[in-house]
């Protein structure tokens, strides 16, 4: 993708040089410039949209993490006293929870790397976190 953006940048530079030298650009030149802008705009847009999810929020404290999280028929309630109840999360039903920064640990759990995140500034939990690639399963949003 970076190669496409680099080539698009070179095409835009060439078109701008032609524009400066000729004081005008042909229709084909404008079409080429617009097509070259498309990949650059897509990369910039994805970078902006990707910034909406914070995978390592600085304010991951037990008081901020505690609460009720849900998505469809899956839910997770984390209480301030360190206990939890869950519904439809890989057999997870209840026990104790703790956190180390944004990483969560549930007693008796088969969940791998559950993680507390913020999405658009709102707290959420990725019960099946595997990396910031978008394939983490359901996002449980704080209610």
Q: Where are the chain's structural domains?
A: 2-51, 62-142
Give the SS3 label for residue 32: helix
Is 18:25 a contact under the CB 8 Å cutoff?
yes
- pLDDT mean across residues, the chain: 81
Q: What is the pLDDT of residues 11-33, one digit of tens each?
A: 777 777 777 777 777 777 777 77
Query: For residue 141, which phi and psi values (nearest 5 degrees)?
Result: -95, 145
Dump strand ranges (E) for the chain: 53-54, 67-71, 74-78, 83-89, 92-100, 103-106, 115-119, 122-126, 140-142
Q: Does pLDDT of 134 surpass 60?
A: no
Higher pLDDT, 107 or 43: 107
Query: Residues 106-117: what's their mean pLDDT?
Result: 82
pLDDT at 63: 92
Report how far apart the first and last C-alpha atoms of the chain are (Å, whole number): 37
Nearest of 106, 113, 72, 70 to residue 91 by alpha carbon = 106
């Amino acid at each position: 993708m970076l190669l496409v953006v680099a080539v698009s940048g070179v095409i835009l530079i060439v078109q701008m040089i032609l524009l400066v030298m000729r004081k005008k650009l042909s229709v084909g030149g404008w079409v080429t410039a617009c097509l070259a802008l498309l990949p650059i705009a897509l990369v910039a847009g994805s970078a902006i949209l990707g910034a909406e999810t914070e995978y390592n929020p600085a304010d991951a404290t037990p008081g901020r993490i505690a609460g009720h999280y849900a998505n469809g028929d899956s839910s997770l309630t984390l209480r301030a006293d360190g206990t939890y109840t869950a519904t439809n999360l890989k057999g997870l039903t209840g026990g104790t929870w703790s956190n180390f920064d944004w990483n969560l640990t549930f007693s008796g759990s088969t969940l791998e790397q559950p993680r507390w995140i913020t999405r658009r500034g709102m707290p959420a939990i990725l019960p099946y976190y595997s990396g910031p690639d978008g394939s983490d399963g359901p996002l449980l949003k704080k209610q």
